[in-house]
Amino acid sequence: MTQTVSVALMDALTGGLEIHDLGRPLTVGMPQSPNHPAYWHALPRRHGDMVRADGGSAANDIITMGTHVGTHIDALSHVSQDGKLFGGLDAADALEGGRYLQLGAHTIEPMVRRGVLLDVPAMRGVQRLEAGEEITVADLEATLARQGTEIRPGDVVLVRSGWGQHFDSGDGDTFRGLTTGVPGVGEAGASWLAAQGIHATGADTIAYERLQPGAGHGLLPAHRVLLVESGIYIIETMDLEGIAAAGVHEFLFILSPLKLVGATGSPVRPLAVVGQ
């Protein structure tokens, strides 16, 4: 181990970095799943409410929210199948004192890894995929081929559908797609990604999954394949429009979840970093 940062990292810093923000702003009323506590924020104290004798004043906040609202990562404790979490762990055994002390959000190691964007709409030549459309293995392979990108073990793979445009436009009902559906990676695509040995995968949709019209946010086959069977983290409600527009397909992916002890997920603000 070295006491000084590596030459390569310092060179990168010196050369200048381009940082793409993949996290969405958290605002009251933003589109989110009705299954999770809504994001709320208020200022209990504003400047001027309590001014000290020296003229100083501090303002502060209260936040209430679920951990699966806004841009967030799912911990492996989030989804179970037949009572089992990843690794065959009994979901009841993962609990201690009312928290998932095993496989909880606090066990997600911060990620500083190679990241890859799969820009599916760009491959298809469309602005965005259609509601309820499945992203197939053929789609994933064609996107890689078009981009000349390869997936390596340990990568974080971000799959863009273009659906985040509905978040940007404030069309929460379409973004959620509870009745109209959402495009996403199907069970086969999830299995294919898992076979590449990736570490995590993300999407610009609310649930990563392909949600068929009228099906709500119920069946979650990709969650089962990724979280339960493969131990691969899922990141949702990402903003992938910016890196797509910039044509960035490979990057240093950074994600540092809050160490929420015993939780099933964490809000995050992931970054894609490239050198200039």
Q: How far is the CB of 208 from a copy of itself (least distance, A)?
A: 13
* CB closer to a copy of itself out of 120 and 271: 271
Q: How far is the CB of 43 from a copy of itself (least distance, A)?
A: 7
Burial of 234 from C-beta contacts in 10 A (0-12 / 13-18 / 19+): buried
Q: How many CB atoms lie within 10 A of CB 19?
A: 12
CB 262 within 8 A of CB 100: yes
Q: How far is the CB of 241 from a copy of itself (least distance, A)?
A: 15
* CB closer to a copy of itself out of 62 and 138: 62
Q: How far is the CB of 100 from a copy of itself (least distance, A)?
A: 7
CA R_g for the chain: 20
The token pair at 83 is 């009572």
* CB closer to a copy of itself out of 138 and 252: 252
Measured distance CA(193)–CA(232) in Å, rounded: 10
Q: How far is the CB of 267 from a copy of itself (least distance, A)?
A: 6
The token pair at 77 is 């404790």
* CB closer to a copy of itself out of 18 and 130: 18
Burial of 86 from C-beta contacts in 10 A (0-12 / 13-18 / 19+): buried
* CB closer to a copy of itself out of 80 and 161: 80
